[in-house]
Structures are given as structure tokens and as C-alpha cells.
Amino acid sequence: MGQCRQLVEALGRGTTSPYVILACHGDEGSIMLPELAPEIERYQPYHQRLTPADLRSFARFDGAAVIATGCDTGHPDLVEAVLACGASAYVAPRHAPFGYASFFAPVFLFYELTERRSLREAVDRLNGHDHEMSAWKLHT
């Protein structure tokens, strides 16, 4: 993830892509923002974390399915915010999965999608892989 202002710009302009991946860290239903040097941090629109209310103020998903990798990004408040910003679906972990799982989950999902499975089928297959992968839930 780059600077927060870059994230706001990218998510605020909408998308023509069918999928958006939020490769991030999460905590208590917020997206954690990277620590920046003070001279850069002061120019950011949000600091330390991006809350569901913050996201609602600028993000436009335009019908894309959003896949998040961060811990606790499947928190109900963040789920509602992502869907309210126009996502057709949201796939995210409800708790803190083991480290490698956040890399493996989107790769597995896209493998399943390239095999012409629906997003629901892909998430079901991901959940059946093992206990760590069962953290990712599909919200529509």
C-alpha cells in the first residue's frame, strides 16, 4: 500500500475492473494505514486507520467484487461500508488468519475463477481447503 492519499485517489475514481483487491492490514474493522515520515504524513487525508465511515466518504466500487486480505476486514461495519460504496460482493476474513493465508486466499480464489467457477463456488472451495481459509466469507 502506498500513501493514504494515493489509496483515496485510486478508490475514489471508480473502476471498470470486475475485481478490486484490498491488500492491506486490518484491525477491528478498519484498514490500517502505513506509518509515514512526519513530513509526508501531514499531507494525508486520514491517519493511522481508514474506518468504515471514512471509506463511505470517497470509495466507489462500481459493481466490482472486492477481496480484502487484512485481519478483521470482514467486520460487519466494514462489510456494510464496502457494499454501500457499490461493491457487488465483498470477500474478507472475519478474524486474524495466519500470515501466509492472506497471500494464498486471493491466489486460490482467482485460480477458481479462471476455472469458470462463480465467486460463491470459489469461496466455498477456499473455505473447504483448511481451517485458516475458512476465515474468508462472501458478503453480497
pLDDT per residue as tens digits for the range 51-103: 999 999 999 999 999 999 999 999 999 999 999 999 999 999 999 988 799 99
* Helices marked H in the chain: 4-12, 38-41, 52-56, 76-84, 101-114, 119-129
CB 53 within 8 A of CB 101: no
Q: What is the pLDDT of residue 96?
A: 92
**Strands 65-68, 89-93: pairing kind:** parallel
Furthest-apart CA pair in the chain: how many Å? 47
- The set of cell numbers assigned to 109 is 480464489
CA 75 to chain CA centroid, Å, is: 11
Taking each helix axis from N to C end, the angle separating 101-114 and 119-129, rounded to the nearest 10 degrees, works out to 140
pLDDT band at residue 1 using 50, 70 and 90 as cut-offs: low
Q: What is the pLDDT of residue 26?
A: 95
Q: What is the pLDDT of residue 99?
A: 78
CB 58 within 8 A of CB 8: yes
When the pLDDT of each residue in the chain is averaged and rounded to a whole number, the result is 95
Overall average pLDDT of the 27-41 stretch? 93
pTM: 0.93
